[in-house]
Amino acid sequence: MLIDAHTHISFNPETTATVPGLLEALDRAKIDKALVFAADIFRCPTPKLLEAIKPHTNRLCAVGSLVPRHRNIENTEELAYLDAQFKAKTIYGLKIYTGYEHFYPDSEHFRRFLDLCEKYDKPAIFHSGDTFCKHQAAKLKYAHPLHIDDLATDRPNLKIVMAHLGWPWHRDAAEVLRKNPNVYTDCSGFVYGKFTPVDRIRFSKVLEEFFDIAETNDRILFGSDWPISDPANYLETLGQMLLPDLASKSSLVTQKLFGLKEYC
pLDDT of residue 262: 53
pLDDT of residue 76: 83
pLDDT of residue 101: 86
C-alpha to C-alpha distance for 74 and 147, rounded to whole angstroms: 22
Strands (E), the chain: 3-8, 33-37, 60-65, 94-96, 124-126, 160-162, 183-186, 220-221
* Average pLDDT estimate for 104-120: 94
* Average pLDDT estimate for 101-121: 93
The residue length of the chain stands at: 264
How does pLDDT run across 135-176, given as a tens digit for each residue? 668 899 999 999 999 999 999 999 999 999 999 999 999 999
pLDDT at residue 134 above 80?
A: no
Share of the chain above pLDDT 90, in %: 83
Per-residue confidence at 69, pLDDT binned at 50, 70, 90?
low
Residue range(s) defining the domain that contains residue 190:
3-262
Predicted TM-score of the model (pTM) = 0.94
Go through 118-133 and write b for each residue having 16 or more CB atoms within 10 A of its CB, e for each that does not.
eebebbbbbbbbbbbe
* Average pLDDT estimate for 65-88: 81
Instruction: Give burial (CB, 10 Å; 0-12/13-18/19+) of 198.
Output: exposed
Cβ(145)–Cβ(125) under 8 Å? no
pLDDT of residue 222: 97
Number of domains in the chain: 1
* Average pLDDT estimate for 96-107: 91
CA torsion, ordered 96, 99, 103, 106, to nearest 10 deg = 60
pLDDT at residue 47 above 60?
A: yes
The region that residue 34 occupies, defined by phi over 0 for left and psi between -120 and 50 for alpha, beta otherwise, is beta
* Average pLDDT estimate for 115-139: 88
pLDDT of residue 135: 60
Tell me which residue of 256, 189, 166 sits closest to 218, measured CA to CA.
256
Instruction: Please give the radius of gyration of the chain, using alpha carbons only, rounded to the nearest integer.
Output: 17
pLDDT at residue 38 above 70?
A: yes
Mean of pLDDT over the chain: 93
- For the ranges 66-70, 206-210, 238-242, which has the lowest average pLDDT? 66-70
Tell me which residue of 79, 132, 77, 68 sits closest to 101, measured CA to CA.
68
pLDDT of residue 150: 97
C-alpha to C-alpha distance for 200 and 241, rounded to whole angstroms: 8
How does pLDDT run across 13-36, given as a tens digit for each residue? 877 799 999 999 999 999 999 999
C-alpha to C-alpha distance for 149 and 240, rounded to whole angstroms: 33
Cβ(26)–Cβ(34) under 8 Å? yes
DSSP letter at 43? T
Instruction: Give burial (CB, 10 Å; 0-12/13-18/19+) of 21.
Output: middle
- For the ranges 3-12, 141-150, 239-248, which has the lowest average pLDDT? 239-248
Cβ(62)–Cβ(38) under 8 Å? yes
Query: Dihedrals φ, ψ of 35, to 5°?
Result: -85, 130
CATH number at residue 228: 3.20.20.140
